[in-house]
Amino acid sequence: MSINEDAIICTYNGYHLIEEKEYEEDNIKNFHLVYDGDKYVGMMPYSPYNRPSGAVFKMWIDCGRPSYEDMHGQNDKAIHRYYTQWLDRQIDKLLVEEMTNAL
């Protein structure tokens, strides 16, 4: 199945973020579908009432596409917090590796 190029909100490292709308009587929900090329890989855990920015999508991809449960939320704050913690873990790994190599 090929994806509709017009529906793509953001593309990063081969991943595409596509918004699919569900219209209800009193609101509109936006589901954030993620594709790796043409292959559907799941939904980005983000509030259905908001749209993630390209920067937030990139952070989410960079830290391994964590689940809602991993992030403890579905908004910019939760993603920023998780991303910061992920970066700290990456730095710690590099420091340990550097210290080990120095011995």
Confidence at residue 39, expressed as pLDDT on a 0 to 100 scale: 93
Confidence at residue 69, expressed as pLDDT on a 0 to 100 scale: 82
Confidence at residue 1, expressed as pLDDT on a 0 to 100 scale: 53
Amino acid, res. 13: N
CB of 26 closer than 8 Å to CB of 18: no
Rounded CA separation 41/44 (Å): 9
DSSP letter at 16 equals: E
Mind listing the pLDDT tens digit of every residue in the chain (103 residues)? 567 777 899 999 999 999 999 999 999 999 999 999 989 999 998 888 888 889 889 989 998 898 888 877 777 888 888 888 888 888 888 888 888 887 7
Confidence at residue 68, expressed as pLDDT on a 0 to 100 scale: 80
| Six token digits for residue 62 | 């960079």
Confidence at residue 2, expressed as pLDDT on a 0 to 100 scale: 66
Confidence at residue 18, expressed as pLDDT on a 0 to 100 scale: 94
Residues written for the chain: 103
Burial class of residue 86 (count of CB atoms within 10 Å of its CB; 0-12, 13-18, 19+): middle
Distant-in-sequence contacts of 21-24, Cβ < 8 A, 24+ apart: 22/48
